[in-house]
Amino acid sequence: MTAPPVAKGRVLATLNEDGSRRWIRPRPSPGKWLIRRRVVAYALMAFYLAFPHLRWNGKPWMLLDLPKREFTFFGSTFLPTDTLLLMLLFVSVLVFIFLLTALFGRVWCGWACPQTVWMEFLFRPIERLVEGGYTQSRALDRDKKHFTPRRLLKYAIYGVLAVVLGNTFLAYFVGTESLFRWMAQSPFEHPTPFLVMATVSLGVFLDFTWFREQTCIVACPYGRWQSALLDKQSVIVAYDVTRGEPRGHGTGARPGLGDCVACNACVNTCPTGIDIRDGLQMECIHCTQCADACDAIMDKVGKPRGLIRYTSQDALAGKPPKFLRVRTVLYPLVFTLFFGAFLIALATRSTADVTLLGPIGAPFTREADGSVVNQVRIKIANRTGREQSYDIAYLDEPGANFIAPENPLRVAAGATVTTSVFIVQPAARFAAGERRVRLRIDDNAKFEREFTWRLPGPVGDASTPEVP
């Protein structure tokens, strides 16, 4: 059989030239940036695990209740009618990401992204511990030994961690009370949440076992946004070409050579497998491992640190820093506009959300005396942090019998209740098959609203003229 063609030139960092998978087993490089990232990562791990369990005013800090279509953030619950608020919040977060990227490059990817945090500070350290270091991992890859006892042990540990993360993910959508209750019950009593948890756990396991850095390189769009979000003044992790080139070997390099000794330490430590000396690349997550590795080499050869460092493209070209530029002025203004509008809308939001609904079944019914009975369903969502009582009043003239079985209607804090009221009136009050009435709902405190509602009725059988 003819061998497949081999690609010439640069290919994806996770591929060999023949198209086969190139497993990335980076060598950890201790240094000041790794120490700082480790502190941040451990704090974020605790935060990501605890976040769905934390409470604010009796509500979760974050709960995405998809079946009820209710989203809770920091104690505030957003209903389907809050599309404006959600839009303002979403745009604010998006613009903030734009600003963060324009100022500090991919600092999110290298320092705070859950993929990076869990991969580089939990799963890879476990891999090196179990398999005997990155050199042993590379040897197992080279010999295609994927199911040795050490790797099977690693997979077992990964499986346990995947289930923990899968349940944590589920807690963001069902709440901790439901999660803990289901964990104590048989999966057959709640098959759908269990299936979601199992699917997410499997996805987490495959991600950190097999897909790994390809999530950043192939799946995540953030790297592709670089071309639009970065400018030449943005802070990035970069190699100083002017100082480093041309490259030489050893401490006694020939005169005229740059500081780079071509040791490839920056390549061996990169979690995405790239060569930072090739310039700004989509695959670079700005994790600073190359900077720590290079600083250690510079110390050994007696050269100044910072050959690879946080800098900008303009700074490398010898241009002065310029903080005030189009992006750093426009993005804060847009963010202030949208986030300010969000805060104002949130502060002035009604303490209750009321929706009038039509009847279930027939639009109206007739009594024996010919009068018309209309049902109006009233859905009240209590947005406050305490139980409220809502009075329901019929505002039209006397002559109609207003029946409200639950009046006042008591609604628990954060709950939504639907009740029905009935309006009985003569058929003569209807014109062209309809009549408009007014209802008022209030809590005797901060909330009061009037509604005009169309009642369907009979057409053409009124025995007396319409009563206005």
Extract the tokens encoding 415.
Answer: 């709950």
pLDDT in tens, the chain (468 residues): 445 454 455 678 888 888 888 899 999 999 999 999 999 999 999 999 999 999 887 788 999 988 888 888 887 888 877 889 999 999 999 999 899 998 898 999 999 999 999 999 999 999 999 999 999 999 998 888 889 999 999 999 999 999 999 999 999 999 888 889 888 889 998 898 899 899 999 999 999 999 999 999 999 988 888 778 888 999 999 999 999 999 987 555 567 789 999 999 999 999 999 999 999 998 999 999 999 999 999 999 999 999 999 999 999 999 998 888 898 999 999 999 999 999 999 888 888 889 999 998 899 999 988 899 999 999 998 888 788 999 999 997 776 889 999 999 999 987 889 999 999 998 888 888 899 999 999 998 889 999 999 999 998 654 444 444
List the one residue out of 200, 202, 203, 180 whose CA is nearest residue 190: 180
Helices (H), 68-148: 83-104, 107, 114-118, 124-131, 134-142
Burial code of 258-276, b = ≥16 C-beta within 10 A, e = fewer? bbbbebebbbbbbbbbbbb
Find the helix packing angle between 191-206 and 176-183, rounded to 10°. 90
Q: How far apart are CA 421 and CA 448, in angstroms?
A: 18
**Who contacts 366 (Cβ-Cβ below 8 Å, separation ≥6)?**
372, 373, 427, 458
The DSSP result for 379-407, as a single string, is EEEE-SSS-EEEEEEE-SPTTSEEE-SSS
CA torsion angle 404 408 413 419 (round to 10): 0
Tokens of 206: 């495959």
Domains of the chain: 11-349 (no CATH), 352-456 (2.60.40.2310)
